[in-house]
Structure 1
Amino acid sequence: MMITIQVLQVPSVIPEPYWGIFLSSVSEERRAQASRFMHQADAYRSVLGEVLTRVKLSKLTGLGHREITFTRNKYGKPALTHDADAQFNVSHSGDWIALIAGGKDELGVDVEKIAPIDLQIAERFFSPQENTYLAAQPADQQRHTFYRLWTLKESYIKAVGMGLSMPLSSFAILPHVQQHGEPDWRCNQDGQIVRHRFYSHPLDEQHMFAACATEGDLPSQPEIVTLESLYAVLV
């Protein structure tokens, strides 16, 4: 089964008819969580992340989107209750939600809003090799590079399914330049190159995105999903 990546840009305001349908399509737990958020943007991201996941998994499994239920492993990684082999992972930050799904092996995805940050945090969370690579970048590119490394690393630990029980500094993800100049990101853990494959690209000037797959080819670019297309499937 082919691996797909979908991204959805979250609007600042969702029309009430749309929002009502989206809320009715997620779990009771998700609706309760959404009602507790202080900021509406957080509720939008949480609910739309589940809606996007349900719609995609419904297409992959043949289940109705309301029939789908989720479970989590001991590290918090979600899985489909009805089919533990169905692979997917979702992330959201800022204005974007990203979903990776398909295949039969581990998948991970991460989106981060690029915000001002003290780059010294890299010394705590990055490997020595990654810190050397980061320090070698031009000053005006270092924040961009920090978020690229961070999302790549997050996508990997989410694919492995161990969460932050795996220290971020325990492995290194660094670029190997390919023939056409596009970097081939590779992960080194315990002195070995792991087999996972990576995709990394900004979604816009303020958001960085990365995906990870154990096996199979990742798409060359994500599919953009619109709010209208999600609504049309649900009504």
Structure 2
Amino acid sequence: MITIRVLQVPEVLPEAKWNQLLSQVSAERCAQASRFLRQADAYRSVLGEILTRVTLSKLTGLRPADLSFTRNSYGKPSLSHHSDVQFNVSHSGDWIALISGSTDELGVDVEKIAPIDMQIAERFFSPKESQFLAAEPDDRRLETFYRLWTLKESYIKAVGMGLSIPLNSFAILPNEREDWDCKQAAAHRFYSRRLDDGHMLAACSAGGELPSKPEIVTLEDLYTELV
């Protein structure tokens, strides 16, 4: 069963807890965290790996620390010894999101909503998406932009070929049932919702049914599962 687990990133972590988390991630992740200028970026990076490890531990039966990861030539991560266990992770702003629980391709994207130059849509959206966005009322246009953007990113991440697939080469639009469809990827299913007033979440599955809502994970849950 596919699940989408989301974790809100804390403003501050006690030093002892932070050191505990650092001890449970890869050396590469630790080194990366030490290079970030902003602590919030380090938190997102490390907590994203921890959420991935504890979640995939349940699916594989391995301890979180025993999981190892690899990436394809486009940067999509996978488990080194359980390539059939699909997952994808994203983080932005105050949230981390992880999708898992299928052998089909999965993708997830979360974005912090901020004012943006709508001319970006003309560069990265298909003509039909740009037309759909332009027809939206002024007070809904920013939300619709981020809804389309995250849906497209979730598909790109599911396929695992990065931006070798141009974002304007496919369209994801609402159908008559008010679901989201992509004619260029008819078998894929899509999901979109706000996480809160400032963040948009989207997910994509190449086959399995997506959940109706995400599972909210607390830091306490994470510590418990890690042990």
- TM-score norm. by structure 1 comes to 0.95
Equivalent residue number for residue 87 of structure 2: 88
Tell me which stretches of 4 or more aligned residues in structure 1 moved more than 6 Å: none
Q: Could you tell me how far 1:14 is from its partner in structure 2?
A: 1.2
Kindly indicate whether the alpha-carbon contact (under 8 Å) linking 1:21 and 1:234 is maintained by their aligned counterparts in 2. no
Superposition map of 1:1-235 within 5 A = 2-178=1-177, 183-189=178-184, 194-235=186-227
Percentage of identical aligned residues: 71
Q: Give me the whole-angstrom Cα distance separating, in 2, the residues matched to 1:72 and 1:103.
A: 18
Q: Give the distance between the partners of 2:218 and 2:150, measured in 1 at CA.
A: 23
How far 1:232 moved relative to its partner?
1.7
Paired amino acid for 1:197: R
> Unaligned stretches of 5+ in structure 1?
none
Deviation at 1:188, TM superposition (A): 2.1
Q: Is the 8 A contact 1:109 1:210 kept in 2?
A: yes
| Alpha-carbon distance in structure 2 between the residues aligned to 1:28 and 1:169 | 37
Q: How big is each residue's C-alpha offset from its partner over 1:103-157, in whole Å with a ceiling of 9 and x where there is no partner? A: 1100000000001100000000000000000000001111110000000000001
Structure 2: 5+ residue runs without aligned partners?
none
Q: Letter of the aligned partner of 1:209 in structure 2?
A: L
2:111 and 2:17 map into 1 onto residues whose CA distance is: 26
Q: How far apart are 1:226 and its partner, in Å?
A: 0.4
Mapped partners of 1:82, 1:232: distance in 2: 25
Given residue 14 of structure 2, which amino acid in structure 1 is its aligned partner?
P
Residue-by-residue CA offset, 1:181-207 (whole Å, 9 max, x unaligned): xx2100122xxx521001100000110
Output the aligned Cα RMSD.
Answer: 0.8
Q: C-alpha displacement at 1:17, in angstroms?
A: 2.3
Number of residue-to-residue matches in the alignment: 227
Structure 2 CA distance, aligned partners of 1:30 and 1:217? Answer: 32
- Matched-pair contact (CA < 8 Å) for 1:87–1:104: yes
CA distance in 1, matches of 2:14, 2:225: 16
CA distance in 2, matches of 1:187, 1:234: 38
Aligned-partner SS, 2:200: strand
Structure-1 separation of matches of 2:99 and 2:21: 20
TM-score w.r.t. the length of structure 2 is 0.98
Q: Which amino acid aligns with 1:184?
A: D
CA displacement 1:52-111 (0-9 Å, x = unmatched): 000001000001111101000111000000111110000000000000001110000000
| 8 A Cα contact 1:21 1:231, kept in partner | no
